Structure 1
Amino acid sequence: MENVSNSSGVPPFCNDSVDFYSLTSGNHTGLNCTLPPSEMYFYVDLYVIFPVIYSVICAVGLTGNTAVIYVILKAPKMKTVTNMFILNLAIADDLFTLVLPISIAEHLLNDWPFGEVLCKVIISIDHYNIFSSIYFLTVMSIDRYLVVLATVRSKRMPYRTYRAAKIISLCVWILVILIVMPFTVFAGVFVNDKRKRCVLMFPPPESSWFKASRIYTLILGFAIPVSTICILYTMMLYKLRNMRLNSNAKALDKAKKKVTIMVFIVLAVCLFCWTPFHLSTIVALTTDLRTTPLLIRISYFIVSLSYANSCLNPFLYAFLDDSFRKAFKKMLECRPA
């Protein structure tokens, strides 16, 4: 029997076993708690409430991110460097919410009827969701730091162009694809008791590979980018503080300050949604918790919170950016024929 894992990345808290039915069918980002089949039907919230939550996230996220993509592509004034990164962030979120119904269907069907190719696609996109958001936010943070630095020094940035932002965005996508490639390779359909599951199938020793995949995701998907972002914003705040103290320094203009604040809030919301997910990985690596219904519910909540990040960003743009708000309003206006 091949060793398998019903997780495609960083499972919160719980380990998997091929001898039990996994409650996490349809959730490939890493939630991995199991209960015997005789007990699974008693937990209505796990089989009804959470699919409903996922469906709401899917509907809201797909609508909001599609609106962001439409606005940036259609409105000439929206074609800025920051908005290019926001566009790619919205595309990544849209891609994830677009395939979320397939994961919901697997959860409700208690089976994977979609074949191995689609299994690899779904697990890959789940991981794009983990890595792409934080990497684009890292790039946005670097961009904000360079803007603040140039403003403090009263220098222009001729290299900061819309075309350069396109090239950088493409490089980020290529980097994320390379990072996710190992998960794509190991993804496959495993049959157990006539029930098919879309899982990661690691070679022996499975437990070592499984822990390695958690550490890999934790380091590349959280530790490195978040450390980079924290250092950048610490340096940025230091520069701004010195700028206020220096009477000869040129202050940030209102527009630049608003964009910086927006990027910071979007980043803060992303960390709020994803930090519990990655912290649960540390718990899983350092402790051996017994699977209980409460632990399973907590794990589902953590994954739901990480999923929710894919639908929150459009609302942040609408509330924090005047140009986005005006463009959204114009898009929704009903014009006479």
Structure 2
Amino acid sequence: MGPNPLYEETADNFQQTTDYYVSSDYEGLVPPICDGIATQEFKRIFEPCVQPLVFLIGVSGNSLVLLTYIFTKKVKTMTDIYLINLAIADLLLLLTLPFLSINAVKGWVFGSGMCKVMHGMYSINFFSGLLFLTCISVDRYIVIVQAIKAHKIRQRSIYYSKLISIIVWVVSLLLSLPQLIYSKSKWLEDGSRICKMIFPEEVTGAVKTTSNIFQILLGFFIPFCVMVVCYSIIIRTLLSSRSFKKHKALKVILSLVLVFVIFQLPYTLVTFMETADFLGSQEMTCEERMRKDIAIIITNNLAFTRCCLNPILYAFIGVQFRNDILLLLKNFRCISRDRYARHCRLSRNFNTPVVMDTSSFTLYM
């Protein structure tokens, strides 16, 4: 299935492993590595250290993106619409982090309703984020490779992008229905509570595994292949161009895709390997299960980190976006007019090209 922030199920998994050893080899003596304490201690230390930092940076950056589009930057192209929706999706995910940090320290104390919300918000963001990146890739392909067609649909591009965005959110919601329906909190024998997906008895392991594989393919590999094809054609087109400035126009979007793959792919691979182990009916040893659970914790938080990197990419790569941020700060009187004027003069003096001016179709023509 798609990534899930609370899918680790470490305590429950280790409880099952403990039962296995109690009834077979150890006759009541539970090996220390099977009790899940080491994994829970790692999670209790690791997540509260990483997640607050990701939350602060990500919420600040993505909020700044939205404020810039609201107050200083005009929305003129399909890419603008997709970037706004991408920032919204990242914010929705980041808002779950405070709950997850508390969960790492105290267990799940928010009830089954909030458990469904946390699972659902993460899953919806996973699918919508990747689909919006796919939409951006297709849009750039049309603008750069199919320039004549892009010019013809320019007048209705905003309408098309809004319609596509609605479709993306609906599809993401439908793909996240298993998380929204079957997620609930569960009491463990030690008195603690966890938040996990609990399927009814009539849903067999084969059905769940098939669902997992389907969502992995649709939620990552197929959209990723679309992006690879689009950008391969775009790169080939730009290489035949005489203007090297056009290469810089791709840096922002290419960076967004690469960051997504680098930070999201590890969790997808871990989930895929876990599904493959289930299909092969492989019995995990205690040490293997502990390594798997720790890998899920690390790669899941790595996926969270991606959400705070998109605004940083805009700020450090996109010159036009930096100008928009400074204009926003000037309008809110966070910086003086003189400082803003000095920055504008420096930009003109260095003749810095606009790396990603999404408001202009002629940039790629």
TM-score class, shorter-chain normalisation, is 0.7 to 0.9
Structure 2: where are the runs of 5+ without partners?
19-31, 338-365
3-state DSSP of counterpart to 1:161: helix
3-state DSSP of counterpart to 2:96: helix
Q: Select 1:322's aligned residue among 319, 322, 325.
A: 319
Q: Cα–Cα, structure 1 residues 20 and 59, in superposed 2: closer, same or farther, change >3 Å?
A: farther
Query: Is the Cα contact below 8 Å between 1:54 and 1:100 reproduced in 2?
Result: yes
Q: Select 1:218's aligned residue among 216, 219, 229.
A: 216
Once the two structures are aligned, what percentage of the paired residues are identical? Answer: 25
Q: Select 2:266's aligned residue among 276, 282, 289.
A: 276
Q: Select 1:126's aligned residue among 101, 122, 128.
A: 122
Partners of 2:17 and 2:62 lie apart in 1 by 35
Structure 1 vs Structure 2 CA RMSD: 3.4
1:103 aligns with 2:100: yes
Residue identity matched to 1:283: M
Residue identity matched to 2:227: I
Shift of 1:261: 2.7
Partners of 1:153 and 1:115 lie apart in 2 by 52
Give TM-score, length-normalised by structure 2.
Answer: 0.74
Shift of 1:206: 5.1
Query: Is the Cα contact below 8 Å between 1:123 and 1:183 reproduced in 2?
Result: yes
3-state DSSP of counterpart to 2:194: strand
Partners of 1:95 and 1:168 lie apart in 2 by 19
Partner of 1:290: 285
Partners of 2:303 and 2:286 lie apart in 1 by 21
Residue identity matched to 1:271: V
Shift of 1:98: 0.9
Shift of 1:332: 3.4
Q: Select 2:110's aligned residue among 109, 114, 136.
A: 114
Partners of 1:317 and 1:203 lie apart in 2 by 45
Partners of 1:116 and 1:53 lie apart in 2 by 25
Partners of 1:331 and 1:272 lie apart in 2 by 31
Structure 1: where are the runs of 5+ without partners?
23-33, 245-250
Shift of 1:300: 2.1
Partners of 1:336 and 1:239 lie apart in 2 by 43
Residue identity matched to 1:311: C
Structure 1 residues 254-289: Cα deviation after superposition (integer angstroms, max 9, x where no partner) = 4x6544331111111101111111122232233445
Shift of 1:124: 0.2
Partner of 2:353: none
Q: Select 2:169's aligned residue among 147, 169, 173.
A: 173
Shift of 1:132: 1.4
Higher mean Cα deviation, 9-18 or 65-74?
9-18
1:71 aligns with 2:68: yes
Give TM-score, length-normalised by structure 1.
Answer: 0.80
Higher mean Cα deviation, 41-50 or 219-228?
41-50
